[in-house]
Amino acid sequence: MSKLPRAIIAVLLAVVLLVAGCSSSPAWEGPISVGRIINYSTDTTEAPQVDSPAPDFQFEDASGQITSLDGLQGSPVLINFWATWCRPCKNEMPYLQQIYDEWSEKGLIVLAINIGEQQSTVERFLQSNGLSLPVLLDADQMVAWIYNVHNIPATFFIDEDGVIKEINIGDFRNAQEIENSLKKIMP
């Protein structure tokens, strides 16, 4: 066997061992705040727009309760699409956590939808950053597709009637920017 195939095999073996070593789940202290998308509406023919109804989807929260976006009508909802590898997403997460902490008791529902990542990756990120806001996993990225999300972070502000009142593509630089947008959906 020549040296080149041996070198390739050695590199592949090292990569496999490295990946196997990095894939173990960390010990998690406290409740896991990660749920998952379980169903979505595919009857949408157009990308969601301001002043149009938000496309519905169903999700299972961390406690196993199944809810739909339509089932949240009567409450304002902030949906944020993000990923752990996205630097602007990571930059705005503390602001989203602050909004969740301050505004959820005023009736705001915050749903951070992670696009395409494994639960263990998301849990490690939440734990290492001290985040407890509700996160849903969009494993097959269908909800992101239905919402026409091509760039992240992308945030949708939905009023209590289920109507999109603002769409923000890109990161928020502070909590005040988010609060300014909340004025359009909070009663």
Residue position matching structure tokens 């739909």: 68
pLDDT value for 65: 84
Cβ partners under 8 Å of residue 4, min gap 6: none
Residues linked to residue 168 through DSSP beta bridges, in sequence order: 155
pTM: 0.79
Cα 54 from Cα 23, distance rounded (Å): 36
Give percent helix, percent strand, percent coil of the chain, each to the nearest 5: 35, 25, 40
31-182 in CATH: which number? 3.40.30.10
pLDDT tens readout for residues 27-41: 323 333 677 776 666
Compute the average pLDDT of residues 114-141. 94
% residues pLDDT > 70 (the chain): 78
Comparing 4 with 35, which gets the higher pLDDT? 35
Residue position matching structure tokens 């972070």: 153
Comparing 21 with 103, which gets the higher pLDDT? 103
Q: Are 164 and 50 in contact (CB under 8 A)?
A: yes
pLDDT tens readout for residues 81-116: 999 999 999 999 999 999 999 999 999 999 999 999
